[in-house]
Chain A
Amino acid sequence: MYNQTDIIKDTTDLGPDGELVVNMGPQHPATHGVLHLVVTLNGETIKKIEPHLGYIHRSIEKMCESLTYRQFIYVTSRMDYLSSHINNTACALLVEKGMQIEVPERAKVVRTILNELTRIASHELWIGAMAMDLGAFTPFFYAFREREMITDIMEDTCGARLTMNYIVPGGLMYDIHPDFQTKVKAFIKQFKEKVTEYEDLVTGNVIFQSRTKGVGVLTAKDAISYGCTGPVARASGVSCDIRKIAPYDAYDRVQFDEIIETAGDSFARYIVRVKEMNQSIRIIEQLIDNIPEGDFVGKTKNVLKLNKGEFYQRVETARGELGVYIVSEGATTPYRIKFRSPGFSNLSVLDHIAKGSKIGDLMATMGTLDLVIPDIDR
């Protein structure tokens, strides 16, 4: 356990060159969770950033070694809670791959629609929170207006607003609500009208642009070496969308673009996410009218047991590439499970790109990396 003197030792302390060591967090309105950054400053310029993690380490990997293959999926909902459907899809796909379970077409299409709605909801919340960090309070309320429409749809179909355990190995837990299609169509209509509001309020704003252009530049070579994935890498010119590389569910039959920018700064990361929301709407539009009829879940045994061996499944969450790696010894519980989370690698690049900038720029950089701390600590 920590004791009191250890905490006091780390607070403001002048280093050998007259540098100031400042703690940001773990309780801080802009770190979006419990992230403790120890920042060494020289005046207002950052010399070094050291992240201290573990303030939300819930020992998920150890816990999953005693949960069955149907039970461990609920825990992954709580890891990166803003893309909970996508995390569940990763686990369900892994179990289906390991046990050769057939998934009916209806389940695949509905899973894809729910994944894309989750991605839009996550990016909405990110826009709201990031704009709030930079001082703009209005986009927060506008973003939550759209997000509430999505959580309404989720609540009708899946039963919960945030941590839905609706996607199970084999398909879906229950059939979709009869109003699903009408509500999603109403949401698409409203979203298309309102997305221009974000363009006007935030993207075209002079203050926002000068605070994010040229800030936190990440080159493509560094992005690959540090293992960054998702919008962070795509804004530096690296093509890494798992939905295009190894398509799963219904992604191989829809048309969408992979958004790549080359500037690598915070503004590019912002533009990538806004354009990704538009591409998600495009995917949903192609699928919502033709949901095939049929079963919503494939035939599975009651007790699931994976064969002896190792399995790896990757999906594209709103933050990057999530990988689930299971080593199975043929029992009803996994022998070792490892979650390769996107935030862990994205955070390791923070020290590299924020060195030399001012502390005000740190907010823009950290906001555009889109970190969700329980995903990093697991």
Chain B
Amino acid sequence: MELNENIAGNPPFPGIIHETPGGGIVVSTFDSVINWARSNSLWPLSFATSCCGIEMMSTASAKYDFSRFGFEVARASPRQADVIIIAGTIVNKMAPVLKRLYDQMADPKYVIAMGACAISGGPFFYNTYSVVKGADHIIPVDVYIPGCPPRPEALLHSLISLQEKIKMGMTRDQIRENFKGQ
């Protein structure tokens, strides 16, 4: 995958270790250490509107555990959460609520659009008068997961991709420049 190559081998630990007698010295940059710490402890906001919420709950339970990746505590309040997983359809009445939740989250914050409904309106695209055709009409989205509903493994893959994106440390425009044409 392209993301992996750009992180110079995707090192599990950010920094170069020099072995010296009496211990080791780690040389790194602040940015990479902070990005590494941030990506390994993202706390999701429990926001599930419809069917994809059940697959999110399945991912949280014992078979496909997502707390092994650091998403241990699902906070109920947006002020304590880092990532919002939009699982379900967004309709016109819910859109201001979603915007308000996103505004209440503290920076840096990330958004995952889970399921066909959050990407583009999904099965409710044609002939509906009340569905927002994609959550990215309301808030900027970082990772899209297709599926109706996506499997728990797909959600785990997207969480890992989000972690790699954070470790890369690039801003939105830099990512757009870097991956242009792919």
Q: A residues near B, CB below 8 A?
A: 1-4, 7, 26-29, 33-34, 54-60, 62-63, 65-66, 74-75, 78, 81-82, 125, 140-141, 144-145, 147-148, 151, 161-163, 373-374
Known: A58-B124, A145-B62. 7 other contacts (CB 8 A): A7-B97, A29-B46, A33-B48, A148-B58, A151-B58, A162-B54, A374-B51
Does B151 make an interface contact (CB < 8 A)? yes
Closest-CB distance, A32 to chain B (whole angstroms): 9
The answer on a CB contact under 8 Å between B51 and A78 is yes
Is B73 an interface residue, CB under 8 A from the partner?
no
Q: A60 to B91: give the CA distance in the assembly, Å.
A: 12
Nearest-CB distance from B106 to chain A (Å)?
A: 17
Distance in Å: Cβ of B59 to nearest Cβ of chain A: 10
Whether B49 pairs with A34 at a CB distance below 8 angstroms is: yes
Q: Is the CB of A56 within 8 A of B129?
A: no
A27 touches B50 (CB 8 A): no
Are B61 and A140 within 8 A (Cβ)? yes
Chain B residues with Cβ under 8 A from A2's Cβ? 93, 95-96
With contact pairs A81-B54, A140-B61, A148-B58 given, residues A54 and B93 touching in the complex (Cβ less than 8 Å): yes
Contacts of B30 in A (CB 8 A): none
Instruction: Give chain A residues whose Cβ lies under 8 Å from the Cβ of B127.
Output: 59, 62-63, 65-66
A55, A62, A163: the one contacting B97 at CB < 8 Å is: A55
The residues of B that contact A54 with a CB separation of less than 8 Å are 91, 93
Q: Which of B55, B63, B76 contacts A162 (CB 8 A)?
A: B55
Q: Is the CB of B94 within 8 A of A62?
A: no
- Given A2-B96, A74-B123, A141-B61, answer yes or no on A59-B128 (Cβ-Cβ < 8 Å): yes
Residue B89, interface by CB 8 Å: yes
**Is residue B14 within 8 Å, beta carbon to beta carbon, of the partner chain?**
no
Whether B47 contacts A144 by the Cβ 8 Å rule is no
A55 nearest CB across to chain B (Å): 5
Whether A163 pairs with B51 at a CB distance below 8 angstroms is yes
8 nearest A-B pairs in the assembled complex, by CB-CB distance: A144-B61, A81-B51, A59-B128, A29-B76, A55-B94, A2-B96, A374-B50, A59-B130
Q: Is the interface of B mostly helix, strand, loop or mixed?
A: loop
What separation, in Å, do the CA atoms of A74 and B89 have in the docked complex?
Answer: 16
Q: How extensive is the interface on chain B, given as a class?
A: 35 or more
Residues of A within 8 A of B46 (CB): 29
Q: Which residues of B contact A33 (CB under 8 A)?
A: 48-50, 53
Known: A33-B49, A55-B97, A141-B61. Contact between A66 and B124, CB under 8 A?
Answer: no
Cα distance A60–B124 when bound, in Å? 8
Q: Decide if B18 is an interface residue (CB 8 Å cutoff).
A: no
Interface core residue of B50, B78, B129 (most chain A CB under 10 Å): B50
Q: Which of B49, B129, B151 contacts A59 (CB 8 A)?
A: B129
B51 adjacent to A26 (CB under 8 Å)? no
Interchain residue pairs with CB less than 8 A apart (8): A7-B97, A58-B124, A59-B124, A66-B126, A125-B57, A144-B61, A147-B58, A148-B58
- Tell me if B100 counts as interface (CB < 8 A to partner A): yes
Task: Tell me the residues in window 41-92 of chain B with beta carbons closer than 8 Å to chain A beta carbons.
Answer: 46-51, 53-55, 57-58, 61-63, 76, 78, 88-89, 91-92
Assembly CA distance A55 to B51 (angstroms): 14
The interface residues of chain B lying within 8 Å CB-to-CB of A374 are: 49-51
Alpha-carbon separation in the docked complex, A161 to B150 (Å) = 9
Q: What separation, in Å, do the CA atoms of A144 and B61 have in the docked complex?
A: 7
**Contact code string B97-115 (vs A, CB < 8 Å = 1, else 0):** 1001100000000000000
Give the distance to chain B from A207, nearest Cβ to Cβ, in Å.
22
A6 to B, closest residue via Cβ = B96
Is there a chain A Cβ closer than 8 Å to B148's Cβ? yes
Give A62 to B130 CA distance when docked, in angstroms.
10
Q: CB-CB contacts of B135-162 with A at 8 A, as 1s and 0s?
A: 0000000000000110100000000000
If the complex has contacts A2-B93, A34-B94, A55-B91, are A62 and B49 also in contact, measured as CB distance less than 8 A?
no
With A33-B50, A78-B123, A82-B54 known to touch, is A56 a contact of B94 (CB < 8 Å)? yes
Residue of B nearest to A30 (CB): B76
- Residues in B whose Cβ lies below 8 Å from that of A55: 49, 91, 93-94, 97
Q: Min CB distance, A253 to chain B, in Å? A: 32
Whose C-beta in chain A lies nearest to the C-beta of B84? A27
Residues of chain A within 8 A of B118, CB atoms compared: none
Judge whether B131 is part of the interface by a CB distance below 8 angstroms. yes
Q: Which A-chain residue is minimally distant from B45 (CB atoms)?
A: A27
CB nearest to B52 among chain A residues: A162
Taking A7-B96, A7-B100, A81-B50 as contacts, is the C-beta distance between A58 and B131 under 8 angstroms? yes
**Please, which residues of chain B bring their CB within 8 A of the CB of A162?**
51, 54-55, 149
In the complex, what distance in Å separates the CA atom of A2 from the CA atom of B94? 9
User: Is B151's CB under 8 angstroms from A161's CB?
Assistant: yes
Contacts A58-B89, A59-B129, A81-B50; is A163 near B62 (CB within 8 Å)? no
